[in-house]
Structure 1
Amino acid sequence: FGMVQSSPTTYRSSDGDQKGGYEYSADKIRGFGMTRLSGTGCEGRFSAFDFPVLPYTGRLDGGALPTSPGAKIDPYYLDFDHRDETASPGHYAVGLGNGVETELTATTRTAVNRYAFPARRDSSTLILDVAGSNNRVFDSEVTVEGRTVSGWVETASVCDEGGRYRAYFSSTFDRAFTSYGTWQGGQVTPGATTARGGAAKHGSGAYLVFPKGATVTARTGLSYVSVANAARNAEEETGGRTFDQVRKATAQVWKDTLSTVRATGGTKSERVKFYTALYHSLLHPNIADDVGGQYPGHDGKVRKVAAGRHHYVTYAGWDMYRGQAQLIALLFPKVGSDINQSLVDLVKQTGAWPNWPHLNQSQQKMSGDSLQVVLSSIDAFGSVDYDRRAALTSMRTTQSLPADATKRAHAQQYLSAGFIDNGKGDSATSKTLEYAVDDFAIAQLADRLGEKATHDRFMTRAQNWQNLLDPETDRIRPRGRNGFDRSFNLGERGNQFEQA
């Protein structure tokens, strides 16, 4: 659930394919970024991969990179081979084609990277691609001061449909630079300490030169509030500790976390698959609050989480309500309660229930109002240390007629007629089914809180799925004003049924 997911992101040179994360068929690494969205769709608009770093051992022309990464980044991509990789929870290492041995580890809000440069190469240089995020970039800035490089990027949220967020970093190195410079667009400037990239991917960044053969460790704090908070995150989480000490502590955190479940029986291979799946299930949602408690609210204001709590963000509601939410509450009840309080706070700040908020960006993806199911399911599994009454009140208020505060598409028709007319398209049949599930979840929360009237009203509405059950064929079918569409191919997705 960490804010930072320090990791390599890849590129396949045979066809130019570059997924938003790590693809095993790739042959190059685009950089070692600080953030990752795991398993998203939206081809080419994955988001994250903020502040990637690329080790470079090539020549420098007059103390400058030979070409600007702002004009063309591909020449700086890194060759690698899977035989030179090792990975375990909390640690990744790779021997790159240019001879640099790279290791990554992390704490909750800080990436700690170690680069061992070969002595017999032209240079030992790190390229900090401040505007190298996966999605569109609106602006970026970098500053070099002493042994620290800091800055920010403003970039599009997942799927790039209107939301944008700003991320900040502060990276401190364990040894001085022999030289440095920045780039802005196509211009590389040796010795420059600042650059502003504007609305361009790779538009600004810095390069840092170290003695040949140096081993360099960088501690890079991340924040969604400020550079100062990013620096404080790094100092409080990793100050005074070596790379190996951080790696050891992080490995222990993951060991303790995964040991919450004790799996026996089966083969070793099957147990490895089981714990790998468990590891993947704990990557999101993510802590958004800095060590001082500040986080960017969904209303654009800087807010502070209550003492002893964390504020969690990034919910793929449609993907997590069927199993992941329940697993989190079962294994980590306090995390479940904090997630639910985070959802309540989100709704208080925005006045509505989104279904796929990314960071502090409230947005809609897929069908349904799934975060209501997420909250109710987490509550059902025992994570109840949050403002339950406020949660139910907001659900009841926003999901009732006149439906002027709901995010549910075609809500007025669903609430009044009991289904969504197939003539609307827009996955109308799926939406009716999903909304019925959502209403069932609200009813169950009301029942646990002893609010009978709310339970009965939403439990009645939860039966709306039956309005799509064709009595002649015993199949769920699209339905319109003139009855069921029995000519519709139930294997077709898109117009009436969501992709599942």
Structure 2
Amino acid sequence: MNKMSLFRSVRTKAAGCAAAAMLYAACLPGASAAQTQPETENASAVYPFLGVDSGGKVFLGATLPFGMVRLGPDVESVDGRPAAGGYASTGLIEGFSHLHLSGGSGKYGNILVAPVTGPLAPGDIKSARADEAARPSYYRVRLTRYDTLAELTATRRVGFHRYTFPSSADAHVTVDIAHLLNHGNGAESQQFVGGNVTVLSDHEVTGVGRYQGGWNEGGEYRVYFYLVADTPARQAHTWSDASISTATRASVASDAPLGASLDYTTTAGQVIQIKVGISFVSEAQARRNVTTEAPGWNFETVRDAATTAWNDVLAPIRIRGATDAQRREFYTAMYHALLLPSDRTGENPLWKSKEPYYDDYYAIWDTFRSQGPLLTLIAPDRQRDTIRSLIDIYRHEGYMPDARSGNTSGRTQGGSNADVVVADAYMKGMTGIDYRTAFAAMQKDAQVPPPDPRMQGRGGLADYNSKGYVTLADERSGSRTVEYAYDDFAIAELACGLGDGAAAQRYAARAGNWANLWDSSLATGGVTGFIRPRNPDGSWAPPDLTIRGTWPNFEYEGDIWTYSLYAPQDVRGLIRLSGGNGAFIHRLDTLFDRKHFDMSNEPGFLLPMLYLWAGRPDKTADRIVDQLDRQFNDSRAGLPGNDDSGAMSSWLIFQMLGIYPNAGQDVYLIGTPSFPEAQIDMPSGKVFRIVARNWDRERLNRYIQSATLNGEPLDNAWFRHAQIANGGTLELTMGPTPTGWGTRVPPPSLSDPVSPLCSAAAATH
């Protein structure tokens, strides 16, 4: 059964709950069917389970937008280890930890709390589950081994647990400090390196865990906690190594078990509530976080406040005419795009600053293409503050990160793509950012070889700056070269804006470096002209036909079909090297038809839009509809790959709206909308409407026949941010066959007769 048929079969609340008791929030106690909710209450459309399976790795649990605490279940996978991202649809629940990523894995799972009954056995508390349900700000599950209902909600820095126990003479609330996701000794594994725990009273436990490693191979970070219960315990235990005792304090200095329990005698249906404050600074601050953010014991008050927060951040986009399934897809995607990075302002243990502090940029290499531009539209204050945080990290550590987690920057997968994030904000008029300091950080990326190129800056920079490309003396030389060229374009944009003509000219010239790896004679798959590795002496190396490269390969998480077309600053130049529009269209058709396009990974995000430069908006529409139909749905397996901090979800949002950003520039590309109308509250406070006349649910009328923007005819398949910054209307008349609309004036390119850059930069072209 396809997704449309499935959800037609559960239209009523009663049928929905009977057919799929855990399917979506309408089945929760007190919740009404999704169809009855006002569209302004968009949190009611979110299905948090969307994307938990088939590699999506999205977070499931309780959190606030950009919250520091993401409280959710950690599930033991089939091999007896915790699921890499925390959650899995099958497996035993080990407990509920307070720190998670979303759309990725390899970090956190810290401070695991679990309700158990029976003899205390810290190494064996996992349980099967039933009656699982979730919505933004709330998660619940019945732990069948203990016949205990667990409910979770959260504030920004506090996890709030409500446990309903059975009658038991031996009930416990346990806290495991040593627990980790991806625990082990591998290169990307995490290690627990020690900590301590103290029972302060019959209802309070505090402590700290020390951790290191993970995907970013990060240094040590410390997680402090303060746990307080609303019910006094009859006794408490601590444990370290294999020893359980009634001592009020325990500690370990290496990777060994460490934890504590509050022990109870419970009656049937007895509720015990737990609040856990988290801090990266101190136990005292963890306690303050509880007293300031969650001072009372009303679980519903905390949950409702979190729901309000989610409704507020989901309100800036309203869609009309969507099916229930489309609403679930769309608003769940928004929800996922607003989870990261983590707002840790006031929780920076490394330096004192008046600037915002964000962590879990995981990773900018993934998010700069779509999530960043989305936040610029719908959460501009957050995007401004995250950029300010990037700049402050540069001030104190010397580089803006390409990825950062656990207060450690790294690893840098490709270019210095924070440069593109800054340029995107600047080109769209975002204020409140120290662009002068950002410009210094960007130039350092481009000029100073980093001490550890996997952790900061640009690897292979000496060759790139002297030869115009990265050679095989360094890893990922192909993907790095083309990304560096685009990062240099971003620097040239900011140099133009700041009036630095010499820098604008220098970086505009380097923005063409992507072509220095182009071998016009290299042919494969019926197409000629691809990027190719070069040896340190400048000679061609054998072509690299790896399907999906990784750290030591020529291209990272892509192939030469994808990376040969990565020049967002100069698609006109790509078309020229490819042999003209006809050859370029043939190349794109071959790429898609022979499945070189990888929707599950970010490097190809712009590829469906490249037809616009060759005058074929109809093919862009076809490719988008195909991807939306085949790769995305509203099920647990509804994402084609890792969501990567909302990167995949934000791609989906833009394409369903019918527009897509060329990140780092002020240009939006027009695709084909999935709804008859959408409204976006712009940062200016005005509303931008996208209206599709003759739109049909079957997507037969997918081709734009004509368009107006703010009442004026628009013949281009693109427009600029300034044209919608103060609101307005993009009206698209749709039809079943292509026309000449959008075929005459392509989007801007660096090699246009009139450069998109300033006159000083244009002098190089």
TM-score between the two structures when normalised by the length of structure 1: 0.89
Q: Which residue of 1 aligns with 2:59?
A: none
Are the equivalent residues in 2 in contact too, given 1:47–1:156 (CA < 8 A)?
A: no
Whether the 8 Å contact between 2:161 and 2:274 is mirrored in structure 1 is yes
2:224–2:283 Cα contact (<8 Å) kept? yes
Q: Which has the higher contact order (CA 8 A, sep 6+)?
A: 2
Q: Check whether the contact 1:329–1:382 (CA below 8 A) recurs between aligned residues.
A: no
- Structure 2 residue 230 is matched with structure 1 residue 168: no
Q: Distance in 2 between matches of 1:323 and 1:390?
A: 24
Matched, 1:341 2:388: yes
- Alignment partner, residue 407 of structure 1: 457
- Counterpart of 1:39 (choices 89, 103, 124) is 103
Alignment equivalent of 2:197, drawn from 118, 142, 162: 142
Instruction: Please state whether the residue corresponding to 2:139 is helix, strand or coil.
Output: strand
2:243 to 187, 191, 207: 187
The amino acid across from 2:364 in the alignment is G
The residue correspondences of 1:445-484 to structure 2 (distance < 5 A) are: 445-472=494-521, 473-480=528-535, 481-484=537-540
- In structure 2, how many angstroms separate the alpha carbons of the residues matched to 1:353 and 1:8? 32
Aligned to 2:114: 54
Residues 423 and 490 in structure 2, CA contact (< 8 A), matched pair in contact too: yes
**1: CA distance between counterparts of 2:498 and 2:214?**
35
- Find the partner of 2:79 among 1, 5, 15: 15
**Distance change (3 Å), C-alpha of 1:26 and 1:402:** closer
**Pairing partner for 1:377 from 414, 419, 424:** 424
Tell whether the 8 Å contact from 2:278 to 2:289 is kept in structure 1 after alignment.
yes
Deviation at 1:402, TM superposition (A): 6.9
Which entry has the higher C-alpha Rg, 1 or 2?
Answer: 2
Deviation at 1:313, TM superposition (A): 1.4
Which amino acid is 2:75 matched to?
A: T
1:297-329 superposed Cα distances (whole Å, 9 cap, x missing partner): 3xxx3x1435xxx32112111111111111111
**Deviation of the 1:425 alpha carbon:** 5.4
Aligned to 2:359: 313
Q: Does 1:363 pair with 2:390?
A: no
Structure 1 residues 279 and 294, CA gap change in structure 2 (3 angstroms): closer
1:4 aligned partner: 69
Give yes or no for contact 1:125–1:210 (8 Å, CA) kept in 2: yes
**Cα shift readout 1:149-182 (whole Å, capped 9, x = no counterpart):** 1111110143262422111111111111111110
**Cα pair distance change 1:160/1:329, threshold 3 Å:** closer
Measured in 1, the distance between the counterparts of 2:302 and 2:538 equals 65
Q: In 2 relative to 1, CA 152–240 (structure 1 residues): closer, same or farther, beyond 3 Å?
A: same
Cα drift, residue 429 of structure 1: 0.8
Q: How many residues align?
A: 468
Match of 2:349 in 1: 296
CA distance in 1, matches of 2:276, 2:503: 49
The question of 1:209 aligning with 2:257 is answered: no
CA–CA distance in structure 2, aligned partners of residues 342 and 455 of structure 1: 25
Is the Cα contact below 8 Å between 2:237 and 2:260 reproduced in 1?
yes
Change (3 A) 1:428 1:487: closer
Alpha carbons of 1:441 and 1:487: their partners in 2 closer, same or farther (altered >3 Å)? closer
Question: SS of the residue aligned with 1:397?
Answer: helix
Measure how far apart 1:482 and its partner are. 5.0
Q: Is the 8 Å Cα contact of residues 148 and 163 (structure 2) preserved in structure 1?
A: yes
* 1:48-81, Cα deviation, whole Å (9 max, x unpaired): 111011111113xxxxx2x4x3xxx2x2112113
| Of 124-133 and 181-190, the range deviating more from structure 2 | 124-133
- Note if contact 1:92-1:105 (Cα within 8 Å) is conserved in structure 2: yes
Shift of 1:277: 1.1
Q: Encode CA deviations 1:246-286: one digit per residue, 9 max, x unaligned.
A: 01111111111111211222311111011111111111111
Inter-partner Cα distance in structure 2 for 1:167 and 1:294: 10
- Note closer, same or farther for the CA distance 1:404–1:48 as it changes in structure 2 (3 Å cut): closer
- What is the rounded CA distance, in whole Å, between the counterparts of 2:179 and 2:151 in structure 1? 20
The percent identity for this pair of structures is 33
- Shift in alpha-carbon separation, 1:408–1:477, aligned structure 2, 3 A: same
Q: 1:109 aligns with which of 157, 160, 167?
A: 157
One-letter code aligned to 1:80: R
- Work out the CA distance in 2 between the residues paired with 1:141 and 1:378: 44
**Structure 1 residues 197 and 403, CA gap change in structure 2 (3 angstroms):** closer
Which residue in the other structure is 2:136 paired with?
89
Pick aligned residue for 2:127 from 49, 57, 78: 78
Write the distance in 1 (CA, Å) between the matches of 2:429 and 2:223.
34
Assess if the C-alpha contact under 8 Å between 2:390 and 2:401 holds in 1: no
State the one-letter code of the partner of 1:16. G
- Contact between 1:320 and 1:374, CA under 8 Å: does it hold in 2? no
1:218 to 267, 274, 288: 274
Amino acid at match of 1:498: Y
Q: Counterpart of 2:174?
A: 127
**Take 2:541 and 2:331, find their aligned partners in 1: how far apart are those partners?**
45
Counterpart selection for 1:118 from 166, 169, 173: 166
Q: 1:282 aligns with which of 312, 316, 338?
A: 338
Residues 360-387 of structure 1: per-residue CA shift (max 9 Å, x gap):
2122232221222223223333432121
Structure 2 match to 1:62: none
C-alpha separation in 2, matches of 1:111 and 1:138: 24
Paired residue type of 2:83: K
TM-superposed CA distance for 1:210, in Å, is 2.0
Following superposition, the deviation at residue 92 of structure 1 comes to 0.3
CA RMSD of aligned residues (A): 2.0
1:442 positional shift: 1.6
**Alpha-carbon deviation of 1:492?**
5.3
CA distance in 2, matches of 1:343, 1:413: 27
- With over 3 angstroms needed to count, the CA separation of the structure-2 counterparts of 1:77 and 1:365, relative to structure 1, is farther
How far apart are the structure 1 equivalents of 2:166 and 2:448?
Answer: 67
Residues 1:159 and 1:397: Cα distance change in structure 2 (over 3 Å): closer
Q: CA deviation at 1:111?
A: 0.7
Whichever residue aligns with residue 390 of structure 2, its letter is L
One-letter identity of the residue aligned with 1:373: V
Contact 2:226–2:277 (CA under 8 A) maintained in structure 1: yes
1:22 Cα deviation after fit = 4.0
The answer on whether the counterparts of 1:142 and 1:152 sit within 8 Å (CA) in structure 2 is yes
**Structure 1: which 4+ aligned runs deviate by more than 6 Å?**
402-406
Please state how far the C-alpha of 1:487 moved relative to its aligned partner. 4.2
TM-score (norm 2): 0.59
- CA–CA distance in 2 between the matches of 1:437 and 1:287? 28
Partner of 2:255: 200
The yes-or-no answer on 1:253 pairing with 2:309 is yes
2:512 is matched by which residue type in structure 1?
Answer: Q
> How far is 1:117 from its partner?
0.5
| One-letter identity of the residue aligned with 2:221 | Y
Please give the alpha-carbon distance, in whole angstroms, between the structure 2 residues aligned to 1:155 and 1:286. Answer: 18
Q: Within 5 A, what are the aligned runs for 1:389-404? A: 389-400=436-447
* Letter aligned with residue 118 of structure 1: P
SS, match of residue 211 in structure 1: strand
d(CA) in 2 for partners of 1:249, 1:287: 18
TM-aligned CA distance change 1:349 to 1:108, over 3 Å: same
